[in-house]
A and B are shown apart, each in its own frame.
Chain A
Amino acid sequence: MAPLPLSTASSHPPSTPAEPRPKKRKTAPPSTLHTSTLRPQHTYFHLRLTTPTPTSPSSSSSGPAHLDPLTIRTLLTPPLQSYLGLTGAGIPIDILKSEGKDVWVRVRGEDARALQAGVGAWVGGVEGGLVPGEGGEEGSGEKRVRVAWRVVRRGGRLGGGDGGELFG
């Protein structure tokens, strides 16, 4: 019985590569090299400091342009402390950015609930000179303003927003 064509082919020295091989390999390399699903460790908050009186455009120039990180921390500690005592005051908060009265902070995922509940139930006071747009007139002395936090957005990633303002 004559040997099968296949077996004769295999008896060839391996140094001569078969012609169709490289063609086949061209389609083979996958374009996706790795995929995985991740769970973020942090929760990000976009908070806004609210004041009872709507800021009039004339006074918007007074006070600092942005909330100072130290002021933010000072305004976030009392709500957490009144809610959870020392445990709450010890929650580490990373202040990422402040723009006007808007603040972006980061906390560990397990502290997110405490921060949300804490700031939601708190109203406090602060020197007007520290809040953008709330600085009193020149020479009128320091006036205290009542402030509260509003949670604009909370999520496992930075940025976002729902685009609702585009509907005008």
Chain B
Amino acid sequence: MLDIHRDDGPDTKVFFSHSLLPSYIDPQNVSTKKKPFSTFNAQPFSHTLDLILPEEIYEIVKGHVEGTAATAKGVYARVYMKLGEVLQGDFFNEYIKKGNIMMLSEGRPLVDNVFSLYDGTLRLELDRPTYERCGLQGKPIEDGGKKHQKNRWVIEYNLREPSMTHGKKGFSRLEWACKNVLDQSLTWLFYNFNSSAHESLRAGTEPISIHHPTIHAIEPTTTKLPRTLVPRLKASDPSSLYDAEDALALHEYIGMLCLDSPRVSANDSIDPHLSRYEVPTFNGLVELATRDMVRMRWRGFIPPHFVRELFLLVRTAGLKVEKGEIHEERWVAWSAAAFGGAREWTVMQWAGRETLSWECEG
């Protein structure tokens, strides 16, 4: 065997699970511990969110999720500022102490110095020289025993703590580091969880407005996937998909739909020499049907909160189950990719309560 055939590819792990949604979901107080909501929350910053759904469900939900009448609206801003400016004046008081925002700075994870802010917690991921100059206490990132990887450190501060105010000792050290070490201007993405921020951001009356942010709306683009081969999976089927091969094949299939690959089209005829991909039939147990599917794609700085709203909206509008009615084959699939490209999740939701989720790392 040639040495080149050694399997040392990227070590991707997929955490697969089958779960049931709670029988009643209070929209004001959604569970954070149960899947798939825990899946959404585990990935704070997503840059792409895909929704795959059959055209008939799309027709029902499009009024709710697209255009000016959309119930779920999101606005994010791109802004150029220093870390120190986040911790000063109105920005700090209004957004971090009183309000709730999330921010992410540019840079590749595990390569550049990356700063993020989520739920009041400031996270600084630094390389060794910067960490040593900062004089702040942090934790080393586990390197898994890799030999040629530079050590990196993570410093975390909960900025909502009462001790995190101007004049306190710990906070002064952080300010000192921002002023003397982490003093570069960076591009940040900014999202405000306050629902009224939508208008005031555009009006320029927010504390961030002095930094001249560029404001973008998180709006979907719709791609039709006509005549797509779809395995006729029923809501009773997920429990027979526990086999690793089947679960991976289904995950790959949803990935192919998100990619808008011609290989899943019923009209596709490609030589097996060029591609041997086949829509999974799970050992011939599931038939294939030809259906018109739709892919909706949101791009932007997307928080879990936004995903959850959309998920519940699509479920209540499009996956309604009437009493006594059997709609076992209706499902939609969601997929979101995280900044840095290290994480991704996919959730497949049937009408009813069955949920399959895949959380990928690496």
Kindly state whether residue B300 has any CB partner on chain A within 8 Å.
yes
In the complex formed, the residue of A with least CB distance to B21 is A31
Complex CA distance for A33 and B358, rounded to whole angstroms: 14
In the complex, what's the smallest C-beta–C-beta distance from B16 to chain A, in angstroms? Answer: 5
Q: Are A36 and B244 in contact (CB under 8 A)?
A: yes
Q: How far is the CB of A52 from chain B (nearest CB, A)?
A: 27
Give the chain A neighbours of B96 by CB distance below 8 A.
none
B285 nearest CB across to chain A (Å): 18
Other than A31-B19, A114-B5, give 5 A-B pairs with Cβ distance below 8 A: A39-B12, A70-B274, A112-B9, A156-B14, A159-B50
Interface size class on chain A is: 35 or more
A122 and B2 alpha carbons, distance in the complex (Å): 20
Q: A39-B14, A155-B12, A159-B258 are in contact. Are A166 and B5 (CB under 8 A)?
A: no
Q: Restricting to B19-64, which residues have a CB under 8 Å from any CB of A?
A: 19-22, 34-35, 45, 47-48, 50
B5 near A97: Cβ-Cβ < 8 Å: no
B298 CB, nearest partner CB in chain A, Å: 12
On whether the beta carbons of A154 and B10 are closer than 8 Å, the reply is: yes
Contact A156 B10 (CB under 8 A): yes
B267 on the interface (CB 8 Å rule)?
A: no
Contact A157–B251 (Cβ < 8 Å)? yes
The 3 closest A-B pairs by CB, nearest first: A156-B12, A163-B47, A158-B255
> What residue in chain B is nearest A163 (Cβ atoms)?
B47
- Interfacial chain B residues near A38, Cβ < 8 Å: 13-16, 244, 247-248, 358
Q: How far is the CA of A167 from the CA of B336 in the complex (A)?
A: 18
A69 at interface by CB-CB < 8 Å: yes
Interface-facing stretch out of A8-16, A17-25, A88-96, A129-137: A88-96
Q: Does A138 contact B (CB under 8 A)?
A: no
0 or 1 for each of A95-106: is its CB under 8 Å from B? (1 = yes): 111000000101
CA distance A32 to B344 in the complex (A): 20
Partner of B276, one of A29, A94, A162: A94
The contact of B337 among A32, A104, A109, A160, by CB within 8 Å, is: A160
B19 and A32 form a contact (CB under 8 A): yes
CA distance A92 to B275 in the complex (A): 8
> Is B6 in the interface zone, CB < 8 Å from A?
yes
How many Å from the CB of A64 to the closest CB on chain B? 14
Q: CB-CB < 8 A to B9: which residues of A?
A: 43, 109-110, 112-113, 154, 156
Contact A96 B256 (CB under 8 A): yes
Contact, CB under 8 Å: A106 / B259:
no
Are B261 and A162 in contact (CB-based, < 8 A)? Answer: no
Q: Is A153 part of the binding interface, using a Cβ–Cβ cutoff of 8 Å? A: yes
What separation, in Å, do the CA atoms of A34 and B354 have in the docked complex? 12
Interface residues, chain B, with chain A CB atoms under 8 Å away: 2, 4-22, 34-35, 45, 47-48, 50, 78, 106, 108, 187, 189, 214, 239, 242, 244-245, 247-248, 251-252, 255-256, 258-263, 270, 273-277, 299-301, 335, 337-341, 344, 358, 360, 362
User: Using Cβ atoms and an 8 Å threshold, which residues of chain A touch B273?
Assistant: 73
- List, in ascending order, chain B residues with CB within 8 A of A95's CB: 270, 274-275
Contact B256 A158 (CB under 8 A): yes
Interface contact B14-A163, CB-CB below 8 Å: no
- Closest A residue to B337 by beta carbon equals A160
8 Å CB contact of B187 from A34, A37, A168: A168
A-B contact pairs, 21 of them (CB 8 A): A32-B18, A32-B34, A33-B20, A34-B242, A35-B17, A36-B17, A42-B252, A70-B274, A72-B274, A97-B259, A97-B262, A104-B259, A109-B9, A110-B6, A113-B4, A157-B251, A157-B255, A158-B259, A159-B50, A159-B344, A166-B300
Chain A neighbourhood of B242, CB < 8 A:
34, 36
A48–B18 CA distance with the chains assembled, in angstroms: 36
**B269 smallest CB distance to A (angstroms):** 11
Question: Smallest CB–CB gap between A36 and chain B, Å?
Answer: 5
Known contacts A33-B18, A69-B275, A162-B341; is-contact A84 B258 (Cβ 8 Å): no
Distance to closest chain A CB from B339 (angstroms):
4
Distance in angstroms from B244 CB to nearest chain A CB is: 5
Instruction: Note all chain B residues with C-beta closer than 8 A to A166.
Output: 47, 78, 189, 299-301
A87 an interface residue at 8 Å Cβ cutoff? Answer: yes
- Residues of the A chain whose Cβ atoms lie less than 8 Å from the Cβ of B5: 110-111, 113-114
Q: Type the 1/0 row for A31-70, where 1 means its CB is closer than 8 Å to any CB of B.
A: 1111111111111000000000000000000000000011
Instruction: Chain B residues near A35: list those with CB within 8 A.
Output: 15-18
A92 to B274, CA, bound (A): 8
